[in-house]
Chains A and B, each alone.
Chain A
Amino acid sequence: MKIILSDGSRKEMKLDNSCIEEVLKSLGINPVEVIVAKNGKVVSEDETAGSGDELKIVRVVHGG
């Protein structure tokens, strides 16, 4: 699966039907600090992603 990290860098991971939360943890990302778009759409971290999917990790900003 293709991963786009919040700094814009890209990664390829060989994972099949993996829970997105586990993918985040394997990348050392705290799920509380991000939202994830799977193939362009924001999804819950409970969802799974497979080899053909693209995950975009968005760091949530909170300042004003």
Chain B
Amino acid sequence: MLNDVEIKRYSRQIRLFGEAGQEKLKRTRVFIAGAGGLGSIISIYMAAAGFGRIRIVDCDSVELSNLNRQILHESDDVGRDKALSAYETLTGINPEVEVEALVETISKDNIDNLLQGSDLIMDAMDNFPTRYLLNRACLHRKIPLFHGAISGCQGQATTIIPGKTACLRCIFPRSPPAAIFPALGSTCGVIGSIQVTEAVKYVQGSGELLANRLLLWDGRNACMDEVACERNLGCMDCREMDVNK
């Protein structure tokens, strides 16, 4: 049940999907992998929207060079753990939401524990090896993974529904070479917002998800495009899931 404060706080969303829809968000437990550029947008909008429990994980501390895009953090946070800074910002934005912020490096050893009790996974990572861990965990736990990634003015997003769509490795079979990437904060804004919209639609059971569709954002040319994807029957991650079914 929503309390009176929540009914007022979410009144514009209640116009969109009713009190029942808002309660669905309240019951949803979210795992956000990363409190950087994408993680900032994703966590702020998810907290503001009233997702009931947000667990956000990041192992890094805030650096001055993060502040052009990582709007969870302020100048005074430089040197502090991103997770702690995220906790303060998110609980400040919406005290109705339960926030758990963890200073951890996501690894194959702890991912099961970290995801315990989560209903969906938001990908806000900056590297593919960790994304593949999230992918395998989403397949194993049969919970959706909302993928996003950016570089400069470009970004991509897709929604992975285990058993129904291509998995992340079907689409990206190999990790691109690691490199320091250029980043514009507004590109994180575009892609992170799309990921949150996908999660809201998934919880509400309405709209058309980015299922088997990879959305491509080209900010330089102000162009949004998409390509279709399908499951790769030889995919080392999906195939394994079928074996374990």
Give the shortest distance, in Å, between A40 (CB) and chain B (any CB): 6
- For B149, the closest partner residue in chain A by CB is A61
Q: Which residues of A contact B128 (CB under 8 A)?
A: 62
- Beta-carbon contacts of A14-39 to B below 8 Å, as 1s and 0s? 00000000000000000011010100
Q: Select one of A42, A61, A62 contacting B227, CB under 8 A.
A: A42
Beta-carbon contact of A42 and B149 below 8 Å: no
When each residue 143-156 of chain B gets 1 if its CB lies under 8 Å from chain A and 0 otherwise, what string results? 00000111100111
Binary contact readout B211-239 vs A (1 if CB under 8 angstroms, 0 otherwise): 00010101001010001111010000000
Contact indicator A40/B227 (Cβ below 8 Å): yes
Contact between B228 and A62, CB atoms less than 8 A apart: no
Q: Is the CB of A64 within 8 A of B36?
A: yes
Q: Are A58 and B176 in contact (CB under 8 A)?
A: no
Interchain CA distance A50-B75 in the complex, whole Å? 55
Among B16-24, B85-93, B98-106, B119-127, the one that faces the other chain is B119-127
Q: Once the chains bind, are B151 and A63 in contact (CB under 8 Å)? A: yes
- Establish whether residues A32 and B227, one from each chain, have CB atoms under 8 Å apart when the complex forms: no
Kindly specify which of B5-13, B108-116, B167-175, B200-208 makes contact with the partner chain: B167-175
User: Chain A, 41-64, contact with B by CB distance < 8 Å: what is the 0/1 string?
Assistant: 110100000000000101111111
Q: Can you name 6 A-B residue pairings with CB atoms under 8 Å? A: A8-B223, A35-B171, A37-B228, A61-B149, A61-B181, A64-B39
Residues in chain B within 8 A of chain A (CB atoms): 34, 36-39, 123-128, 131, 148-151, 154-156, 166, 171-178, 181, 183, 188, 214, 216, 218, 221, 223, 227-230, 232
Chain A residues in the interface with B (C-beta under 8 A) = 8, 32-33, 35, 37, 40-42, 44, 56, 58-64
